[in-house]
Amino acid sequence: MTHSVALGVEYDGSKFVGSQRQPEGRTIQAVLESALARVADEEVQVDFAGRTDSGVHATNQVACFRTLATRTTSAWVKGANTYLPDDIVVHSCHDVDGSFDPRRSAKWRRYFYVFGERKVVPALGRSFATWIDDWLDAETLHKQSQCLLGEHDFTSFRAAHCQSKSPRRRIHAISVTRLSEFVVLDIVANAYLLRMVRNIAGALFGLAQGKVADLSMLLEQRDRSLAPPTAPPQGLYLTQIAYEKYPSLGLFRSPPLLGTCTEFSVFTPSDFTDVRIGI
């Protein structure tokens, strides 16, 4: 009998070319499948809730696979971590029904983008934030970001080779918060265009530098060529994916770099209306 198993996965994306298997380069999928195959004693194919690019991190990526092997949830976690390298960890496991699809079953997804302020880039943690030598006015950036709330055409924040059918997405919540030397963009949306969060982060940084006059105007122009460059990948974290049927799968996990975060809102799957747009 085939079983469906969902995993909560954390990884440091620094030494990966992305989450999805590719013809060349080290990927999260290939490494995770190899470890799970050893635990299951059979070939395993993993599906992810969302793709992450080269250099992007995750604190709670959700992966699902189907297997004939019967193992306890703790055995899957311990077994996978035995064979995984140090830059990937399985932190949770859930038995799910056969209809569960980690991507299509998700109600919304949450990302953090982390800027770190230092005159000299630190030796420790340099790949876990985008380090800048500017001081960012988090309060002003937060106020500017509120124009992105709701459903919009996000063409100005869409990568040129994005293959999504529609540029429209719905942002449920967005904030910019200061935590000591870190400034964090926290964004929750039903789905994202290619590099959308990094492009929003890049626009906010451009705003701080005076290269963007007004974020709402940039949104209305619907022209990617008018926007600042994409922010680097190392500041981006996939932190939460919400599922109505399996809420424990989608618990928020903050990037360890930020310590224990009590400043950020706690969202549950039912907090936002599930609005599906042609994606």
Q: Is 109 helix (H, G, I), strand (E, B) or coil?
A: strand
DSSP 103: T
Element (H, E) at 190: none
47 in active site: no
Question: Judging by beta carbons within 10 Å of its beta carbon (0-12, 13-18, 19+), is residue 59 exposed, middle or buried?
Answer: buried
Q: Which residues of 156-190 are buried (b: 16+ CB within 10 A; e: fewer)?
A: bbbbeebebeebbbbbbebbbbbbeebbbbbbbbb
Q: How far is CA 239 from CA 24, 110, 116, 156, in A?
A: 27, 6, 18, 24
Q: Which of 12, 41, 47, 53 is catalytic?
A: 53
Q: Please identify every residue annotated as catalytic.
A: 53
